[in-house]
Amino acid sequence: MSIPSQPSGAPDAEPDGAEGRLRRFATIWSRAIFPSTATSLTRPEFEEHLLPLARELSDTLHGRVFDAAPAHRVGAGLVAAHCTDPDALSSTLGVVDSYLVLYCGGNGPVELSTEDSRARCARIQHALAGGFTQALRERTLAEQEAIARSALTARSHAEQALHATEARFRAVFKDAAVGIGIADLDGNILEINDTLTRMFGGLENHVRSHKVNEWVHPEDSPHVWKYYEELVRGEREHYSVEKPYYRNDGTVLWTNLTVSLLRDPEGRPEYQLALLEDTTERRLLNLRLRYEATHDALTGLPNRTLFFERLEKALAPREGMRFGLCYLDLDGFKAINDSLGHAAGDRLLVEVADRLQSCATAPGEMVARLGGDEFVALTTGPRTEDEVHELAGRILLALATPVRLDGRELTVRGSIGVVEGPSGERTPAEVLRSADITMYRAKAAGGNRFALADAEADARAITRHGLTTALPTALDRGEFFIEYQPLVHLGDGSVHGAEALVRWCHPQHGVLGPDRFIPLAEHTGLIVPLGRWVLEESVRQANFWKERHTDGGPLRINVNLSPTQLHHPSLVAETVDVLERSGLEPGALCLEVTESALIGADDDLLKPLRQLAEMGVDIALDDFGTGYSNLANLRRLPVSVLKLDRSFTQGMQHHPADPVDLKIVEGIVSLAHSLDLAVTVEGVETGAQAEQLRQIGCDTAQGWYYARPGAPDRIHSLLLADAV
Ligand code: C2E
Ligand code: MG
Ligand code: MG
């Protein structure tokens, strides 16, 4: 391919902006292809002629929605301008490839990324080559008809002017730019022109030595020989096909072949006339363009586009066929990239690609790179249930050998999501999403493994994923609210305080309990601002109650703290700040920390809690009894309240309660009291439970028996009732 040398002057040095750059592009283009055109225009005229075509290409490049049709028209326009030489096409593609984005890239209203522009440019070349080919084929057919007509005329006027017409026919035949051959109906070749001989490698004998029907090639389209038979029987006037031939040196010649039937003056079939246009180079070019559009430049693996084509095929309904997909994401690739640099990261990806490729060599298997460090392996066939597991195993094994990079050995690991199933049930997008979710499950389980897709886990993950992404905005949009559940003195039944329990009023899913989103908020870190909001809001609420309810003892507010909040450096400062701003005394606040968060806690972790306790804030050990903590350890912890887990209360549902359960609770209560800890019980649902817990010596209780968690004014009315 000939690409003109870089013109002097950078594109943006042009004085007259977009129009100037477009003109510049047309100049380069005309210089590149003018020598191979058969036009009668001068070069400046030719350049004028190309300008509107250049404009079409430029507009196509940054259309709001990409549409390749104009590029197709430009290809046809070249043929119309007599640029029919194959060189004209390849030079044009070279110019478009090197200069279109450079000169016309920034001309449009739509801002395109470099990657998008390149992708569009490749598609433009593709469409342009297609338009060129089609127009040329149509022209060939027209040319062929003219020749056939003159051949017929020559024969019907044979008696009158045999020599003259014969000479005219010869001239057309000899000078034609396409290969022409005439054969009888048995396939014996009678005449061929020089162009045809050249196309076949230059040996006339080689062409003549075979009958037409002996030029069989394994890649012949299925219709070719059927059409041929119909034509020589006189049932078909002509046909056009794409057909390969072997040259005498064994290489393959690709042609657009048009065959017409020539009849004698009585209308009986007499000869067949073949026109062959050499498309070998164009075909190679198309193959190259197609290859570039469907392969990853770094690793040479099929890219996302090709993978989706294959996946779509694999998922099309076919009796008894199944598919298996392994979706691989390297573990910790970002760290390698960040620490060793992108060049090393790239080499690692190439190595991984090579290894993956060697894992999927069986028919029906393919490996592709989706981008970044994400790869897929696809297998199709009737038995993919077992095959896909083996494939995933092979991939992990292939990755297990360390990769040598710059003299060091890198251990590469990956997580694989495996999806398997029958064809005809799911779309490519569904399968890929499921594979992606499953891959994350493998990663969450520690990586370096594969996980199998499962519809239920998918559904859970999808809502979890949805909730996680919606969490940050939910706080800004005020979608959280707090319900309060009273804490009651077991001795006299008076309301002693309330626990703040957060809820999320989700726009689609309705009200969600904390078990649905607190773990997600913990995971994403959003728990810190969310927890701060809960603290502020409930302290404000408690202060409001205090102002309305001046008689009676201090009303306490219990707020839950999650482990992440415990680790947060500004926990103490923020809590103090919230209390000071609201005017609530520290003794009215109780922070609930789950037992499991404090198991094995060291002094650093306990320090903030200790500081808060010293200020007078109560610390409660929540869900006590579920974490198997060492009771003797309680002494070390800065806690003043034990909240017995609901499971203890549940054990007392039966009447009479299990004596062993009772003994255990009694034991805990007396130990707690000996350590100066108050005991609260959770989940009291019946009066019998309440009575039993009171007898055992528990101090306060919480549960549906008294009230379900509810709006803050409920507590207010309970307090009033209490006061009465
Ligand atoms: P928790 O602190 O142990 O809260 C008590 C849970 O028991 C609440 O569930 C409450 O609605 C429920 N409950 C109360 N009485 C009864 C009863 O008689 N029977 C039964 N079966 N259940 C009862 P909820 O509201 O779903 O909260 C679950 C957990 O979510 C809480 O357990 C707490 O650990 C956490 N949580 C709630 N709000 C917050 C918050 O603002 N921040 C943090 N970090 N965690 C919170
Ligand atoms: Mg709690
Ligand atoms: Mg609890």
Contact 154, 268 (CB under 8 A): no
pLDDT at 488 over 50: yes
Q: From the CA of 610, how far away is ligand 1's center (Å)?
A: 24
Give me ligand 3 centre to Cα 646, in Å: 7
Whether 632 shows a pLDDT value over 80: the answer reads no
Task: Please report where in the chains the tokens 């391919």 appear, as a residue.
Answer: 1
Cβ-Cβ contacts under 8 Å for 565 (sequence gap 6 or more): 527, 528, 531, 571
User: In this predicted model, which residue has the larger pLDDT, 215 or 62?
Assistant: 215
**518 CB near ligand 1 (under 6 Å):** yes
Confidence category of residue 3, pLDDT binned at 50, 70, 90: very low
Backbone angles phi, psi at 379, to 5 degrees: -135, 140
Q: How many A from CA of 499 to the centre of ligand 2?
A: 7
Instruction: Work out the pLDDT band at 312, boundaries 50, 70, 90.
Output: very high
- Nearest ligand by distance to the CA of 515: 1
H, E, C per residue of 330-385: EECHHHHHHHHCHHHHHHHHHHHHHHHHHHCCCCCEEEEEEECCEEEEEEEECCHH
Helix (H) or strand (E) run with residue 166 in it: helix 158-175
pLDDT at 629: 59
Expressed in angstroms and rounded, the spacing between residue 427 Cα and the centre of ligand 3 is: 45
Q: Look up residue 167 and give its amino acid.
A: A
709 lines ligand 1 (CB under 6 A): yes
Sign of the torsion angle spanned by Cα atoms 506, 507, 508, 510: positive
> Which of 7-16, 144-153, 276-285 is most confident?
276-285
Sheet (strand 252-263) strand order: 189-192, 179-184, 269-278, 252-263, 238-246
Name the CA dihedral angle for 496, 501, 505, 511, rounded to a multiple of 10 degrees. -90
Q: Is the CB of 703 under 6 A from ligand 1?
A: yes
Which residue, judged by its Cα, is nearest atom 34 of ligand 1? Answer: 560
Q: What is the pLDDT of residues 569-578, one digit of tens each?
A: 899 999 999 9
The reply to whether ligand 1 has any atom less than 6 angstroms from the CB of 285 is no
* Ligand 1 centroid distance, CA of 485 (Å): 9
Q: Separation of 685 CA from ligand 3 center, angstroms?
A: 14
Query: Cα separation of 389 and 450, whole Å?
Result: 9
Closest protein CA for atom 15 of ligand 1: 703
pLDDT over threshold 80, residue 668:
yes
- What average pLDDT does range 504-524 have in this prediction? 87
Atom of ligand 1 nearest to the CA of 502: 38
Q: How far is the CA of 528 from the centre of ligand 3 (A)?
A: 20
Tokens standing for residue 368? 């592709």
- Side chain identity, residue 180: I
Contacts of 706 by beta carbon, 8 Å cutoff, 6+ apart:
486, 488, 684
Domain ranges of the chain: 17-136, 176-284, 297-453, 481-719
Taking the C-alpha atoms of residue 649 and residue 661, their distance in angstroms, rounded to an integer, is: 9
Q: Whose CA is nearest to atom 14 of ligand 1?
A: 703
CA of 692 to the centre of ligand 3 (A): 20
Query: Residue 599: helix, strand or coil by DSSP?
Result: coil
* 529 sits in which H/E element: helix 527-548
CA of 661 to the centre of ligand 1 (A): 23
Pocket lining: 537 vs ligand 1, CB cutoff 6 Å: no
How far does the centroid of ligand 1 lie from the alpha carbon of residue 130, in Å? Answer: 67
Q: Taking the CB of residue 80, how many other CB atoms lie within 10 A of it?
A: 13
Q: Is the CB of 592 under 6 A from ligand 1?
A: yes
514 lines ligand 1 (CB under 6 A): yes
Of 370, 388, 368, the C-alpha closest to 379 is 388
> What's the pLDDT at 143?
74
Mean per-residue pLDDT for 616-623? Answer: 94
291 lines ligand 1 (CB under 6 A): no
Cβ–ligand 1 distance for 534 under 6 Å, the answer: yes
For residue range 191-215, what is the model confidence (pLDDT) as tens digits? 888 889 999 988 888 888 889 999 9
Say if ligand 1 is within 6 A of residue 526 CB.
Answer: no
CATH numeric code, 176-284:
3.30.450.20
How confident is the model over 549-572, as a mean pLDDT? 85
Cβ atoms within 10 Å of 611's Cβ, excluding its own: 16
Task: Please name which ligand lies nearest the alpha carbon of 487.
Answer: 1
Whether 683 lines ligand 1, by a CB cut-off of 6 Å, is yes
Residue 12, helix vs strand vs coil: helix
Query: Is the minimum distance from the CB of 483 to ligand 1 under 6 angstroms?
Result: no
Q: Which residue has the higher pLDDT, 9 or 430?
A: 430
Of 432, 431, 456, 457, nearest to 444 by C-alpha is: 457
CA distance 591 to 617: 7
pLDDT, one tens digit per residue, over 398-424 is 999 999 888 888 888 999 999 999 999
Structure tokens at 716: 């207010």
Instruction: Give me the percent of the chain exceeding a pLDDT of 90.
Output: 45
> Mean pLDDT, the chain, as a whole number?
86
Name the band, by pLDDT with cuts 50, 70 and 90, for residue 98: confident
Q: β-pairing, 589-594 with 556-561? A: parallel
Q: Does pLDDT of 66 surpass 50?
A: yes
Distance CA 637, CA 648 (A): 22
Ligand 1 atom index nearest CA of 521: 44
CATH number of 297-453: 3.30.70.270
Is the bond leading into 656 cis (omega within 30 degrees of zero)? yes
- Is residue 56 in contact with ligand 1, taking CB distance under 6 Å? no
pLDDT of 14 > 60? The answer is no
Q: Which ligand 1 atom minimizes the distance to the CA of 561? A: 44
Report whether pLDDT(7) > 60: no
Q: Rounded to the nearest whole angstrom, what is the distance from the C-alpha of residue 501 to the centroid of ligand 1?
A: 6
Which of 499, 501, 558 has most ligand 1 atoms within 8 Å of CB, for mutation?
Answer: 501
Instruction: Mark the residues whose beta carbon lies below 5 A from ion ligand 2.
Output: 560, 592, 622
- For residue 671, the CA-to-ligand 3 centroid distance in Å is 20
The response to whether residue 552 sits with its C-beta less than 6 Å from ligand 1 reads no
Distance 622 CA to ligand 2 centre (A): 6
Q: Which CATH architecture has domain 481-719?
A: Alpha-Beta Barrel (3.20)
Residue whose structure tokens are 């690991």: 413
Pocket-testing residue among 503, 558, 682, ligand 1, by greatest number of atoms within 8 A of Cβ: 682
Give the Cα separation of 95 and 2 in Å (integer): 9
Question: Would the pLDDT of 316 be above 90?
Answer: yes
Q: Is the CB of 625 under 6 A from ligand 1?
A: no
Output the pLDDT for position 708.
93
